[in-house]
């Protein structure tokens, strides 16, 4: 029998960026918040041994233990879904801070176009432009409405950046200057300018100077040590929940984190949640934490899993395209790239997670799609993250993947290979979705999620177009040899790392028929459950998701406070 614990105001399922922001905002206002976290409690001190590529990048030190729980995957409904047994295409973090600890810090706002993608597409090209099966829909909120929440996230984390020079793009004033210009970013900028594009420095959440945020949290500047993605920052220079929102929430005395505890179900009766059922994984003991508001704030997929397992919201049916939980799963269309081989050495071992330059000329609807066979686009960037030696073994075309020729070429090009990548938008399709797997179970016997996903012609055409743009820029940069990818994309391959930007499944919108959440991230079907996070995205853009996740979390925090005062549906 589960032990019932005293009721709290708000219970969080997961303590990452979303949980941390909501905890900070509401504990400051005097509300009691309990955060249930499946992993350990992390601190900056845990990262003193983080410059270890094998342990962190290859053995996935900071990621969820897949032996306890994973998902299954198939390309379509006729294929047998099989478990994602080892980490590959995406990496989900665990422990306080969640994936917000091991991220790179590239921090972009989604475009006004993203939030109204259906209306904008119909307005400019007509309904006929949207191919059959593509589930474009507006988010039920506009960029303008989200702007103050973006501003809050930017100030809290201390983003360093410069205005995007592209005409028509939102002009953001960042609290800190951009990262340093390097020979690599300068070369990219000069080449893209020559081609008539609009390069700028990528907005960065690796602090560019010492900064004290509005909560009084002071942090030091990034040292460009080259260990960001998949690592924790030993300086606390990379913005993460552990060094920003979590200490603020703790300081109030109103926040309690329960690490090593996994929530199995949101408990509810008559359209209202009463709390959550969780297990302390150290003892196996079950607890019920009652609360006035339940915030589902885990990773995108775990949010879907929890709702399906709790029988909350109507599960999505891919045959009819009806139902909402599991709908509009999208990813990141990120395989259009160009590797350039140069005659000179760059300091590629050095870098930071968000050190880079990019152009947005081919993202969103900044370019005319009338004669193109895809919608949306990609941002095209060059980054200098710190080329780690196990992961980076670039060889020119026609060099084999092992043996003397491979060794010599990969060693010789260790500091001579640059990569331009196109981070493409991923649009929703009726048959790309998430549901419960009928066969495989997690450590508690609950069904695993089942992902049904594949690239569409939309993605293939986008990646080919963008790969060619990447190659064009790389040639302009003076590479003596260029290797392009994106023109031969087959099925989605879950083995190779691509991006931890999984989105959708519990999307927001203006209509309860086609969305699970209203514009406050409040469930239409259960008024005291809020589900902020990338799971709320109606599609994925050509940008990293964290900034938009952060803005939605601030929006939800405001909604939760309103709800605690007035009750009922907020829209």
Partner 1 sequence: MTEKPKNYSRRDFLKTTGIATGALIGGGLIGGLVGLNVDKDDQHVSDTGNTNHEMGTNGGFQFFQNQREFNVISNATERIFPKDDIGPGAIDLGVPYFIDRQLAGQYGSNTKEYMQGPFAVGAKTQGYQSRLTRASIFRQGIAVLDEEANKRFEKGFSSIEAEQMDEILTAFQNDEIPMTGVTSAFFFRLLRTATLEGAYADPMYGGNRNMDGWKMKEFPGHQMSYINVIDKEKFQKIAPQPLGGM
Q: What residues numbered 514-553 form the site for partner 1, per CB under 8 A?
A: none
Instruction: Give me the least distance between CB of 36 and partner 1, in Å please.
Output: 22
Q: 252 or 393: whose CB is closer to partner 1?
A: 393
Cβ–Cβ < 8 Å for 106, 544: yes
Helix (H, G, I), strand (E, B) or coil at 539: coil
Q: 79 or 212: whose CB is closer to partner 1?
A: 79
Using rule CB under 8 A, residue 180 touches partner 1: yes
DSSP letter for 56, please.
Answer: I
- Window contacting partner 1 (CB under 8 A); options: 8-16, 140-148, 177-185, 460-468: 177-185
- Window contacting partner 1 (CB under 8 A); options: 30-38, 58-66, 143-151, 309-317: 58-66
Q: 89 or 96: whose CB is closer to partner 1?
A: 89
Q: 224 or 543: whose CB is closer to partner 1?
A: 224
Cβ–Cβ < 8 Å for 185, 355: yes
Per DSSP bridges, beta strands 261-269 and 272-280 are antiparallel
Instruction: Give me the least distance between CB of 486 and partner 1, in Å please.
Output: 17
Using rule CB under 8 A, residue 78 touches partner 1: no
How many C-alpha atoms does 391 have within 13 Å on its Cβ side?
Answer: 21
Using rule CB under 8 A, residue 252 touches partner 1: no
Using rule CB under 8 A, residue 347 touches partner 1: yes
Q: What residues numbered 279-318 form the site for partner 1, per CB under 8 A?
A: none
Among 412, 430, 461, 498, binds partner 1 (CB under 8 A): 412
At what angle are helices 546-566 and 17-28 packed, to 10 degrees?
A: 40
Q: What residues numbered 108-127 form the site for partner 1, per CB under 8 A?
A: none
Q: 43 or 415: whose CB is closer to partner 1?
A: 415
Cβ–Cβ < 8 Å for 449, 83: no
Q: What residues numbered 456-495 form the site for partner 1, per CB under 8 A?
A: 490-495
Cβ–Cβ < 8 Å for 237, 111: no
Q: Which residue has the tokens 């083995």?
A: 495
Using rule CB under 8 A, residue 181 touches partner 1: yes
Q: Which residue has the tokens 């176009």?
A: 113
Instruction: Give me the least distance between CB of 523 and partner 1, in Å please.
Output: 30
The torsion of the CA quartet 509, 546, 166, 479, rounded to 10 degrees, works out to -130
Per DSSP bridges, beta strands 261-269 and 503-505 are unpaired
Dihedral sign from CA coordinates of 408, 335, 338, 59: negative
At what angle are helices 183-194 and 457-476 packed, to 10 degrees?
A: 100
Q: 125 or 349: whose CB is closer to partner 1?
A: 349
Instruction: Give me the least distance between CB of 225 and partner 1, in Å please.
Output: 6
CA gap 161, 107 in Å, rounded: 9
Using rule CB under 8 A, residue 73 touches partner 1: yes
Using rule CB under 8 A, residue 373 touches partner 1: no
Using rule CB under 8 A, residue 344 touches partner 1: yes
Q: What residues numbered 38-57 form the site for partner 1, per CB under 8 A?
A: 49, 51-54
Among 83, 247, 447, 512, binds partner 1 (CB under 8 A): 83
Cβ–Cβ < 8 Å for 133, 427: no
Q: 49 or 372: whose CB is closer to partner 1?
A: 49
CA gap 519, 503 in Å, rounded: 17
Instruction: Give me the least distance between CB of 422 and partner 1, in Å please.
Output: 21
At what angle are helices 143-157 and 546-566 packed, to 10 degrees?
A: 110
* All residues at 6 or more sequence positions from 140 whose CB lies less than 8 Å from its CB, including other chains: 508, 509, 510, 511, 515, 518, 519
DSSP letter for 220, please.
Answer: P
443 alpha-carbon distance from chain centroid: 26
Using rule CB under 8 A, residue 404 touches partner 1: yes
Q: 3 or 79: whose CB is closer to partner 1?
A: 79
Q: 66 or 288: whose CB is closer to partner 1?
A: 66
CA gap 193, 523 in Å, rounded: 46
Q: Is 501 known to be catalytic?
A: yes
Cβ–Cβ < 8 Å for 21, 245: yes
Instruction: Give me the least distance between CB of 226 and partner 1, in Å please.
Output: 7
Using rule CB under 8 A, residue 76 touches partner 1: no
Using rule CB under 8 A, residue 407 touches partner 1: yes
Give the containing element (helix H, strand E) for 435.
strand 433-441
Among 159, 267, 355, 560, binds partner 1 (CB under 8 A): 355
Q: What are 405's strand-pairing partners?
A: none
DSSP letter for 542, please.
Answer: S
Instruction: Give me the least distance between CB of 88 and partner 1, in Å please.
Output: 6
Q: 146 or 494: whose CB is closer to partner 1?
A: 494
**Structural tokens at position 395:** 């060889």
- Window contacting partner 1 (CB under 8 A); options: 37-45, 65-73, 135-143, 145-153: 65-73
Using rule CB under 8 A, residue 435 touches partner 1: no
CA gap 288, 311 in Å, rounded: 17
Number of residues engaging partner 1 in binding (CB under 8 A): 67
Using rule CB under 8 A, residue 403 touches partner 1: yes
- Window contacting partner 1 (CB under 8 A); options: 16-24, 114-122, 412-420, 501-509: 412-420
How many C-alpha atoms does 204 have within 13 Å on its Cβ side?
Answer: 33
Instruction: Give me the least distance between CB of 566 and partner 1, in Å please.
Output: 44
Among all residues, which ones are annotated catalytic?
A: 501
Residues that bind partner 1 (CB under 8 A): 49, 51-54, 58-60, 65-67, 69-70, 73-75, 79-80, 82-86, 88, 180-183, 221-226, 344-347, 349-351, 355, 384, 387-390, 393, 401-404, 407-408, 411-412, 414-415, 439-441, 490-495
């Amino acid at each position: 029998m589960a032990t019932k614990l005293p009721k709290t105001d708000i219970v969080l399922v997961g303590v990452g960026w979303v949980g941390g922001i909501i905890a900070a905002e509401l504990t400051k206002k005097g509300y009691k918040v309990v955060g249930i976290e499946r992993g350990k409690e992390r601190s900056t001190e845990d990262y003193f041994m983080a410059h270890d590529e094998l342990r962190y990048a290859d053995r996935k030190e900071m990621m969820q233990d897949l032996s306890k729980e994973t998902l299954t995957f198939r390309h379509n409904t006729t294929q047998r879904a099989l478990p994602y047994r080892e980490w590959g295409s995406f990496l989900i973090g665990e422990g306080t801070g969640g994936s917000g600890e091991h991220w790179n810090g590239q921090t972009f706002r989604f475009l006004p176009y993203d939030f109204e993608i259906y209306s904008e597409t119909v307005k400019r090209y007509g309904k006929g432009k949207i191919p059959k099966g593509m589930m474009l829909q507006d988010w039920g909120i506009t960029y303008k409405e989200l702007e103050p929440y973006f501003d809050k996230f930017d100030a809290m984390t201390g983003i360093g950046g410069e205005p995007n020079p592209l005409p028509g793009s939102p002009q953001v004033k960042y609290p800190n200057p951009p990262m340093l210009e390097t020979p690599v970013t300068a070369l990219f900028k000069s080449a893209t300018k020559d081609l008539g594009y609009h390069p700028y420095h990528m907005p960065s959440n690796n602090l560019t100077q010492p900064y004290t945020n509005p909560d009084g949290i002071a942090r030091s500047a990034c040292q460009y040590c080259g260990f960001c993605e998949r690592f924790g920052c030993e300086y606390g220079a990379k913005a993460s929940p552990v060094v920003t929102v979590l200490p603020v929430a703790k300081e109030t005395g109103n926040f309690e984190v329960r690490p090593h505890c996994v929530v199995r179900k949101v408990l509810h009766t008559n359209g209202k949640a009463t709390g959550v059922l969780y297990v302390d994984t150290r003892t196996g003991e079950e607890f019920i934490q009652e609360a006035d508001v339940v915030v589902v704030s885990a990773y995108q997929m775990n949010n879907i899993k929890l709702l399906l397992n709790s029988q909350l919201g109507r599960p999505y049916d891919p045959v009819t395209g009806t139902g909402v939980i599991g709908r509009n799963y999208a990813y990141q269309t990120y395989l259009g790239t160009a590797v350039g081989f140069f005659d000179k050495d760059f300091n590629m071992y050095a870098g930071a997670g968000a050190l880079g330059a990019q152009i947005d000329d081919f993202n969103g609807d900044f370019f005319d799609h009338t004669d193109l066979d895809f919608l949306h686009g990609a941002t095209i960037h060059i980054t200098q993250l710190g080329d780690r030696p196990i992961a980076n073994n670039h060889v020119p075309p026609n060099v084999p993947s092992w043996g003397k020729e491979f060794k010599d070429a990969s060693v010789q090009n260790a500091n001579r290979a640059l990569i331009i990548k196109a981070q493409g938008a991923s649009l929703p399709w009726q048959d790309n979705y998430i549901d419960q797997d009928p066969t495989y179970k997690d450590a508690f016997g609950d069904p695993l999620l089942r992902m049904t996903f594949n690239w569409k012609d939309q993605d293939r055409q986008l990646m080919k177009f963008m790969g060619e743009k990447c190659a064009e820029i790389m040639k302009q940069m003076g590479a003596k040899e260029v290797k392009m990818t994106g023109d031969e994309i087959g099925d989605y391959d879950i083995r190779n790392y691509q991006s931890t930007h999984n989105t959708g499944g519990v999307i927001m919108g203006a209509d309860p028929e086609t969305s699970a959440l209203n514009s406050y991230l409040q469930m239409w079907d259960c008024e005291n459950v809020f589900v902020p996070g990338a799971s709320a995205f109606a599609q994925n853009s050509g940008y990293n998701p964290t900034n938009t996740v952060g803005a939605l979390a601030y929006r939800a925090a405001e909604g939760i406070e309103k709800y605690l005062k007035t009750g009922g549906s907020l829209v």
